[in-house]
Chains A and B, each alone.
Chain A
Amino acid sequence: MFEVFRRSGHRDPFEHCGSVIAPDPEMALLMAKECFLRRREGQHLWVARRSDLHSFSDETLLEIAADKSYRFPEGYRDVVAKREKARARAKELQD
């Protein structure tokens, strides 16, 4: 079993589009081309043995358990307001 990934141009990411049964990578590419690139759906093709793809057996590990607002731009939203306030205060002190 091979998993098939395709993309349109060099700037696009490869995306998973399905799977094919084939005896080896060469045949998998041929099968994938016939199954998934029939109508110009893309210009590049990857195949990878399913057994070579790995995932966490326990995907609850991927959940974010605590506050990680510092990883998001929204976490810094009030910085602008604080900067304006600080500038106003600096100006006040200067005058």
Chain B
Amino acid sequence: MADTALVDLLTALADDELVLGHRHSEWTGFAPHLEEDVAFASIAQDEIGHAAAFYTLVAELTGDDRDRLALGRDHTEYRNAIICERPNRDWAYTLARHWLYDTADGRRLEALERSSNESVAALATKIRREERYHLIHADSWMRRVAGGPVEGRTRLIDAMALAFPEAVGIFEPVEHEDELVERGVLPAASEQMKAAFLEEIRTALDRLGLPTQGHAHAADAAEFVASSSGDLISQGPAAREPAEASSNGVGGRSGIHTDDLRQLWEDMTTQYRSNPGATW
């Protein structure tokens, strides 16, 4: 019988990468400038490549087919974290999520590199090499937007207020996590990784001069910010839409998703559903 707990964990990892990779790919042709368009499309492909690698491990355990796992399931069967399925909104939100996700993923892969399951450990090591570059990419953008002109900075603060609370959902445990931790397959419990992640993010936000409270509104922090010309500009809250209330980002690991996933799924699986089992 297949190792249910491990299958659940690998499926969650794969679904995170596939769904976020698909969201990233939606920028293709629309990113803020051409070079970034190419760079971000490559990152999207990397994430989908990681998903393919995780689905391959699942397929080996269950005798299933990795394409069917990726595209042939109903949207209610996906186990990705809610934050991965959220629409891109603007570049600031995409950047905030990319940074939060890859930081969280770094924590997760760091633990999985020490997994007692050799295939999982080897794959985590391989993926982490690429994720290291993704983090450099995200960090480089964050530093520039956070320290740049007021509009970008303000948008980033609003985006972070939406994304940060939901990013915590990346560490929502899969059903039989205790068993995986006990067996050493998952060498760190989600709670433990979450604490380390929150500490890392708060320190980084502090260094970037961004609010560290998840729900803080941009106006609290961006009242006077240096513009690109060096002048101090006052930015009133009336200039922007108020930040939307966001969920706590939990539920995805047990298949409870937002309608955003259904919409993404319709789009992502159109081709597969029109001709199931076709190969490319």
Contact = CB atoms under 8 A, between A and B. Distances in A.
Interface of A: 60-61, 63, 65-68, 70, 79, 82
Nearest to B130: A65
B49 A61 contact: no
Contacts of A61: 132-133, 136
Contact of B49 (A60, A67, A79, A82): A67
B279 A70 contact: no
Contacts of A66: 46, 49-50, 53, 126-127, 130
Contacts, number: 23
Classify chain B's interface size.
10 to 19
Contacts of A65: 126-127, 129-130
Contacts of A82: 279-280
B45 interface: yes
A67 B129 CA distance: 13
Contacts of A79: 280
A67 B133 CA distance: 16
Contacts of A68: 45, 49
B13 to A, nearest CB: 15
Nearest to A60: B129
Interface in B48-69: 49-50, 53
23 contacts: A60-B129, A61-B132, A61-B133, A61-B136, A63-B129, A65-B126, A65-B127, A65-B129, A65-B130, A66-B46, A66-B49, A66-B50, A66-B53, A66-B126, A66-B127, A66-B130, A67-B49, A68-B45, A68-B49, A70-B45, A79-B280, A82-B279, A82-B280
A68 B132 CA distance: 17
A68 B50 CA distance: 11
B53 to A, nearest CB: 7
Interface in B226-280: 279-280
A2 to B, nearest CB: 27
Lowest 4 A-B CB distances belong to which pairs? A65-B129, A65-B130, A66-B49, A61-B133
Nearest to B50: A66
Nearest to A56: B136
A67 B280 CA distance: 16
Contacts of A67: 49
Nearest to A76: B280
Contacts of B126: 65-66
Interface in B130-184: 130, 132-133, 136
Nearest to A67: B49
A23 B45 CA distance: 47
A67 B53 CA distance: 10
B246 to A, nearest CB: 33
Given A68-B49, A82-B279, 17 more contacts: A60-B129, A61-B132, A61-B133, A61-B136, A65-B126, A65-B130, A66-B46, A66-B49, A66-B50, A66-B53, A66-B126, A66-B127, A66-B130, A67-B49, A68-B45, A70-B45, A79-B280
Nearest to A64: B130
B60 to A, nearest CB: 16
A60 B133 CA distance: 10
